[in-house]
């Protein structure tokens, strides 16, 4: 069972995360919904965090794009890393 730390929902069945915005270095942004990324994905569910088309990715998802620079959110320079969150994401990657 994989539960999102932000919305407390089971990721295998949740249609969307409930965290609608993210704080980046230069302000707060609305998060990019699955399916509206460029290039767009041609599936009904995210291959990493399993949200439904049109849903918000669970934080730490490899697919989620940064709403500011459009690069992969987990590796862009638009936000200051929270060491505790980064450690949690790293731990999830190896389970």
Q: How many whole angstroms separate alpha carbon 14 and alpha carbon 90?
A: 22
Q: What is the pLDDT of residues 52-92, one digit of tens each?
A: 999 999 988 999 999 999 999 999 999 876 655 555 555 55
Q: What is the pLDDT of residues 43-52, one digit of tens each?
A: 899 999 999 9
Structural domain that includes position 83:
1-95
2-25 average pLDDT score: 91
The yes-or-no verdict on residue 24 having pLDDT over 80 is yes
Radius of gyration over every alpha carbon of the chain, rounded to an integer in angstroms: 13
- When divided into structural domains, the chain yields a total of 1
Check residue 49 and give its pLDDT.
Answer: 92
Strand partners, 72: 65
pTM of the model: 0.77
């Amino acid at each position: 069972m994989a539960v999102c730390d932000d919305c407390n929902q089971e990721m295998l069945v949740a249609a969307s995360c409930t965290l609608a915005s993210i704080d980046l270095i230069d302000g707060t942004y609305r998060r990019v919904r699955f399916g509206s990324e460029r290039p767009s994905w041609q599936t009904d569910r995210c291959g990493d965090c399993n949200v439904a088309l049109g849903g918000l990715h669970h934080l730490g998802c490899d697919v989620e794009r940064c709403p500011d620079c459009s690069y992969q959110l987990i590796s862009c320079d638009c936000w200051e890393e929270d060491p505790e969150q980064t450690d949690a994401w790293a731990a999830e990657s190896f389970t």
